[in-house]
Amino acid sequence: MWDNHGMDSFLLSGLNPEQHAAVTLPEQSALILAGAGSGKTRVLTTRIAWLISSGQANPQNILAVTFTNKAAKEMLTRLSAMLPINTRGMWIGTFHGLCNRMLRAHYREANLPQTFQILDSADQLSAIKRLMKAMNVDDEKYPPREMQFFISGNKEEGLRASEVEAFDPYTRRKVEIFAEYDAQCQREGVVDFPELLLRCYELLSRNAALREHYQQRFRHILVDEFQDTNKLQYQWLKLLAGSNNALFAVGDDDQSIYAFRGANIGNMQQLTRDFHVHSVIKLEQNYRSHGNILDAANALIKNNPNRLGKNLWTVEHKGEAIRVYEAPTDAEEAMFIVDEVKQLNHEGMRLSGIALLYRSNAQSRVLEHALVSAGLSYRVYGGLRFFERQEIKHALAYLRLMQNTEDDNALLRIINFPTRGIGARSIEQLQENAKLHNTPLWDAAARAGGKVSAFVALMESLRNATRELPLPEIIDHVLVHSGLIAHYQNEIGAKRREAQERLENLNELINAATLFVHENEDDSLTAFLTHAALEAGEHQAGDSDDALHLMTVHAAKGLEFDAVFITGLEEGLFPHQNSKMNDGGLDEERRLMYVAITRARRRLYLTFAQSRMLHGQVNYSLVSSFLRELPEELLHWITPRLARRNPHAATFTQQCDAPIATPVPRPASSTGWRAGQRVSHQKFGEGVVLDIKGGGADGQVQVNFKRAGTKWLALEYAKLTPL
């Protein structure tokens, strides 16, 4: 047995006063409001070690919940280093992992077979498709992914099919499918991920003896990332805690960014009421970032209402001012970032200490192109490189098959995507036929009938319709008429965020083609497909290489870097345009920006572009409102003075209220008009000149109008008035 007094001194050494207070709280429920970089993992782990070393709890009396298996393993490793105990039997894990463990121990009471299997998301979708086919359900009226979302969403709310309210025939049919799906899973002895938690909650709810057993056992329940808990997870915790146990919750309402996964930020304030938490301990001392970075984060997040409230600070010096760069275009924004990364690397900063953050996955394409061109090693964290993403590979497969009908891999990828009723057996017959006649699959498909012949006809129509089109228009036509756009639009109801990102990536493919045309003499489809293959096949760094990190802000949560670039700070992009459609959406976007800022240790860059390519066309943007919320004294503008728009300048409010931001002024053409000039049209209203071609009777001017969008007008008849 160890010396308790000496062990306690060892465990508590080095803690700041607030950390010390949190770790040594008496046996009571508590909310620890842990700011970014404030040492929350240390506090949580030390709290467990202190409870054990001080004799207040045995290892088996503790239940600790994390949100990832990685976090659980890290906690167990730290505990092993702190105390001479065997941690193998401790209940430390994710919600799903702990519920699985409980259900395995009480499978009979849970009405499950001893060897029940767990369905991952892909397996669950397959099971739903199989059931719907057996029920003769129209999968166009009831898309399987939408049904998956419906079933999982209700389970995460704690609802069975019999408890879902259905006020119309459409919803009643969905409820019937839900009920049959549950019955099928029960017959087959399988559970999906939401079922693990719901089944465990139901088990404890109805079995008083079992519930009391675990309530007496787990005297101390500790929860990490509490701001990310959903409704059912919180109800499960309440059930285990009962009326006597202590719930020690660590979280940060300012970093609640997963509403799309069902996270309920209101659980934090609900906790203080349900568990009579009288004092909230705030961990505000930051051990990560320089002072100016923290001051910027504090200034931004204070604009959110209904916060529990905290203010990050550090004993470190203020550090460098936050660098702000405004680029004329998204391509020039990427070029600036590449130049700065090279300079940082030249000064001794490792590439692995630098991160490029973006709000939307589609933004990575421009950055990746610039990095590849510069020969800089990079790694896409938590995702795929642009040309490796599923929807991009589908689109490229259509283009490849149009170019080369002997491309069997391309044909196999898209012959039934989007779904067109060509089953596995039909494809096997095609392969057998092609092998028998020693021909490509396309020739076998051309000889086939039914739905396969319809696919062949589709491909022929795509080839014929795009024969004379420019490259970007070829891709646009294929995306629409192949059904890819409609497929992902239909998925928005089921997986809104994922489907929206896939649509944005498909639009970005058109932008990639537009840029390719501008940069290459050979702008053929064949040349573009070669370019895409080369960019997909190279430059992704290995795990052991020193490489730059590219990632979305969501993926960056929990990470930190010496230098961080937050890119694309434009209205509609960050904050995202979807944030205006949901109550509290802008608040969550601001929390996302707060997370992005607090990833930086030493240097922070904020970049945006006056114009950005969207759907193959140039669009002019307003600078992000979040930039306005940062104090001017913290910012160092490194944009050339004549080209920049300082958000703190007197004219900024007018510019932000205007429909279209002013791009970098350019010299007037011989026609008298210039790009960036504000104009008015009798029919279309106010707009901004984008481009001028030619002069005289053949001249044209391109204008982006507030109400009417982008239009080409003949100069001779344009009737534009300068503003």
Residues involved in catalysis: 40-41, 224-225, 255, 599
Q: Distance (Å, rounded) from C-alpha 51 to C-alpha 57? A: 5
Q: Distance (Å, rounded) from C-alpha 451 to C-alpha 433? A: 16
452-482: string of b/e by CB count within 10 Å (b at 16+)? beebbebbeebeeebeeeebbebbbebbebb
Q: What tokens does 378 get? A: 């990079």
Question: For the sheet containing 720-722, what is the strand order?
Answer: 709-714, 700-705, 685-693, 678-681, 720-722
DSSP 416-472: TSS--S--HHHHHHHHHHHHHHT--HHHHHHH--HHHHHHHHHHHHHHHHTTTS-HH
Instruction: Give residue for tokens 């646009």.
Output: 476
Cis-peptide into 631, omega within 30 deg = no
| Bridge partners for 356 per DSSP | 550, 565
Neighbours of 238 (CB within 10 A): 17
Q: Distance (Å, rounded) from C-alpha 168 to C-alpha 544? A: 56
Q: How far is CA 379 from the centre of its chain?
A: 16
Angle between helices 95-105 and 231-241 (to 10 degrees): 50
Angle between helices 144-156 and 169-188 (to 10 degrees): 80
Q: Distance (Å, rounded) from C-alpha 253 to C-alpha 266? A: 9
| Pick from 5, 229, 212: nearest CA to 96 | 229
Query: What is the SS3 assignment for 623-658?
Result: ECHHHHCCCHHHEEECCCHHHCCCCCCCCHHHHHHC
How far from 518 is each of 246, 399, 476, 521, 522, CA to CA, in Å? 64, 20, 17, 8, 10
Q: Distance (Å, rounded) from C-alpha 40 to C-alpha 12? A: 14
Any idea what DSSP says for residue 302?
A: T
